[in-house]
Structure 1
Amino acid sequence: MNNLFEKYNGLPVAQRIIIPLILMVVIGAGFWFLLIDPVRQDIDKQRQQLTEIDREKGRLEQLKKNRAVVLAQLEKLKRQLLIAQEKLPQDAEIPSLLQRIHNQAKTAGLEIMIFKRLPERPQQFYVEIPVEMELSGTYDELANFLYYIGRMTRIVNMKDLSMVRVGQGMASDGELKIKTRGTTFRYAKPNEG
């Protein structure tokens, strides 16, 4: 070791200054790359994660604030769905609905000659259920029947209405032969629409 110091002391002054500087730079670089830089990179990574967590926290807080609004909208949609389900019957309710339409015609005083359920026509979200009807009665009885149909909770459309007077001339008793097509609806099952 003394030999090393003697060689060092034998060097010119410029080299004796440069060698410790180089050693300090090497030690400093080693210290930097082995200790400080990994810690700095870890700190940067942690800051990024903290920023992302803060962003996510803000988003979740916003969702929490909106939760009440979303729940209120959900309740409103549920009520609307119940109302729609009341107006659009399920499969099992169709026969009783058609029976009610039939009974409404009788209640109004119309004579039912034909009451025939036609094939269903699937649409995107619902299925149309047409019913062909031939009725006999007066104009007032027909008006009452249409009024009763319009007051039902279920949706029933009456279209293609044609009326022909049964009797001829002035002696006619006001009897009409009525042909019409009623259409009611039901929800389409997911694979139907």
Structure 2
Amino acid sequence: MALTVDDIKNLSPKYKALILIAIFIIIGALYYSLFFQAALAKRAVLRSELDNLQQQIAIKERVAQQIDKHRQELAELQKNLQLAMARLPEQKEIPGLLSSVSQAGIKLGLDFVLFEPMAPVSKDFYAEIPVKITVMGGYHDLARFFEKVAKLPRIVNIENIKINRGKGDEGLRGEKVILTANCDIKTYMFLEPKDEKRKTANK
């Protein structure tokens, strides 16, 4: 039997309230199934896409920071390389540099027994110029000599130092003990690029 409007009017307030609640529940269920559930699903998809985009942005920001860091490190390395290359003498400066080394010892009263430049050893963009040295003098004079050589404006390294006391009369000069120092002194010469060498040869 169908429920008419008059039947509803004659119902008690309690039943009217129950019917009204049932109607709201049905409407709510229809809204949820037709609209709200779809909106929630779309929201979940958008949230997933947003999270993915945020992750990509974070990754790209980290990469950008690393790029900036590497650029700074590269710039610092290039600066240090330029400073080091500025301290490498050119070929025409080598005789003057070796003369500065020997003069530093002579001014301190040292006696050079051996000062023998060896054949250059080619590296990537520079050549190593080794010099074998045997020098005699007092302990403090030798120490000052090595210090002066190390402070020359061009790069000069002192290696393989061997110091012995002179034998017999060679071991004394008045009351001063005379030592004999054998060492290798290495300086470095900047090599021109091959194309620059060809240009120089063609002139």
What TM bracket, shorter-length normalisation? Answer: 0.5 to 0.7
Cα deviations by residue, 1:108-137 (Å, 9 ceiling, x for unpaired): 221111111100000112110001111110
CA distance in 1, matches of 2:158, 2:74: 34
- Shift, 1:151, TM fit: 1.2
Q: Give the aligned partner of residue 110 of structure 1.
A: 110
The 2-side partners of 1:127 and 1:143 are apart by 27
Shift of 1:160: 1.1
Structure 1 residues 89-168: aligned runs within 5 Å: 89-167=89-167
How is 1:74-89 mapped onto 2 (pairs within 5 angstroms)?
Answer: 83-89=83-89
> Over residues 2-24 of structure 1, what are the superposed CA-to-partner deviations in whole Å (9 max), with x where a residue is unaligned?
xxxxxxxxxxxxxxxxxxxxxxx
Q: Distance in 2 between matches of 1:106 and 1:183?
A: 19
CA distance in 2, matches of 1:151, 1:183: 14
For residues 64-97 of structure 1, the C-alpha deviation after alignment (integer angstroms, 9 at most, x for no partner) is: xxxxxx9x99998886565334310111111111
Output the CA distance in 2 between the equivalents of 1:180 and 1:146.
10
1:44-55 to 2 correspondences below 5 Å:
none
Q: Distance in 1 between matches of 2:73 and 2:183?
A: 41
1:165–1:77 CA distance, 2 compared to 1 (3 A): closer
Paired residue type of 1:99? S
Check the 8 A contact 1:87/1:155 in 2, yes or no: yes
Counterpart amino acid of residue 179 in structure 1: N
Does the 8 Å CA contact 1:131/1:183 hold for their aligned counterparts?
yes
- Per the alignment, residue 185 of structure 1 pairs with 188
**Which residue identity lines up with residue 155 of structure 1 in the other structure?**
I
Shift of 1:190: 2.6
Give the AA of the match of 1:137: G
Question: Aligned partners of 2:130, 2:107: CA distance in 1, in Å?
Answer: 21
Determine if contact 1:167/1:175 at 8 Å carries over to the other structure: no
Aligned in 2, Cα 1:77/1:159: closer, same or farther, shift over 3 Å? closer
Letter in 2 for 1:184: T
Gaps in structure 2 of 5+ consecutive residues: 1-70, 198-203
Partner of residue 175, structure 1: 178
Equivalents in 2 of 1:73, 1:113: separation in Å?
Answer: 46
Q: Map of 1:4-23 to 2, 5 A cutoff?
A: none
Q: Which runs of 5+ in 1 are unaligned?
A: 1-69
| Distance across 1 between alignment mates of 2:74 and 2:182 | 44
1:13 match: none
RMSD value over aligned CA atoms? 3.0
Structure 1 segments (4+ residues) deviating >6 Å: 72-79
State how many pairs are aligned.
124
| TM-score calculated relative to the size of structure 2 | 0.52
Query: Deviation of residue 144 (structure 1)?
Result: 0.2
Q: Report the TM-score, using the length of structure 1 for normalisation.
A: 0.54
Identity of aligned residues (%): 28
